[in-house]
Amino acid sequence: MSEAKSVLQPVDAQAIRLAKTLLRASGYGALAALEPATGAPLVSRVGVSTDIDGTPVILISGLAAHSAALRNDPRCALLLGEPGKGDPLAHARISIDCRAVEIARDSEEHKRLEGRYLRHQPKAALYVGLGDFRFFRLAVQKASLNGGFGRAYAMKAEEVLTLSPANADIAAAEANAIEHMNEDHFDAVELYARYFAKAEGGRWTLVGIDADGFDIASGDVVERVFFPEPLKSSGQIREELVAMVREARKGLGT
């Protein structure tokens, strides 16, 4: 008997970019954990952001059932991807095998994650300060990407994440760079949206920068824009953003 043909495709640059886009641009996802009493799957919708390396970050109440589940057994899975118009199964999504790590509220890591999370999820400011809420980093183990019909990929953690030696350097400079762009160069952010993300004009803000690219938002819509080449240091942030403004102006004829 002949072996069944695999439906999986080789992981290529296009698949990696799609996986990273789903990770960075998703505002919410479905989190599956294991119920402590029965071991049965427990699924809940959660708000999602990412750490500088792309690790998913969630903020959940200690009173929620999935908090108890993650504390009892850190194994979990996160499904990301918008259904969009038409057949929901025709749209890209990614299922990520994770291990949850709870972040102590009084830690420096909590402060750092809070700033990044609130830029992506500003409505969470209403409850992030409540004593029972905690951040969890969902450490990626592996992922299954479905880019649509005939486009299935089994991906390693290193193919999904941004494991750059410049991560710490960029993280230290990120908040100031974002504040500067949003306050003094908001017109440039709109150009990024129109040219690189092919989005409609509007009030776009920069909400995240990492070694691979940056995230921009207008209301609940988040778009991912990649740098031509990954950054090697925080010193490249300004020069790359300036170069991309020039490219966008030329491309748009403005």
pLDDT at position 89, please?
A: 78
pLDDT at 74: 98
What does the pLDDT average to over 209-235? 97
- The answer on pLDDT for 205 being more than 50 is yes
CA distance 98 to 76: 5
How far is residue 49's CA from residue 57's CA, in Å, rounded to a whole number? 5
CB-based burial, 189-219: b 16+ in 10 Å, e otherwise: bbbbbbbbbebeeeebbbbbbbbbbbbbbbe
The answer to whether residue 86 scores a pLDDT higher than 80 is no
pLDDT of residue 3: 54
Q: Homologous superfamily of 167-247 in CATH?
A: PNP-oxidase-like (3.20.180.10)
Three-point CA angle 59, 64, 70, nearest 5°: 70
Thinking of the domain 13-160, which architecture would CATH place it in? Roll (2.30)
Closest CA to 206 of 250, 173, 164: 173
Q: What is the pLDDT of residue 85?
A: 78
Rounded to an integer, the average pLDDT of 148-169 is: 94
Beta strands (DSSP E) in the chain are: 28-34, 41-50, 56-61, 75-80, 93-103, 133-146, 152-156, 205-209, 213-218, 221-226
pLDDT at position 4: 56
Residue 220 has pLDDT above 60, yes or no: yes
How far is the CA of 61 from the CAs of 6, 47, 65, 184, 190, in angstroms? Answer: 41, 12, 9, 36, 35
- Distance (Å, rounded) from C-alpha 237 to C-alpha 187? 17
Residue 149 has a pLDDT of 78
pLDDT class of 72 with cuts at 50, 70, 90: very high
CB-based contact 23:163 (threshold 8 Å): no
3-state secondary structure of 145: strand
Q: Where do the structural domains in the chain lie, given as residue ranges?
A: 13-160, 167-247
Q: Do 13-160 and 167-247 come out as alike in CATH topology?
A: no
Report whether pLDDT(1) > 50: no
How many Cα neighbours within 13 Å face the side chain of 204? 28
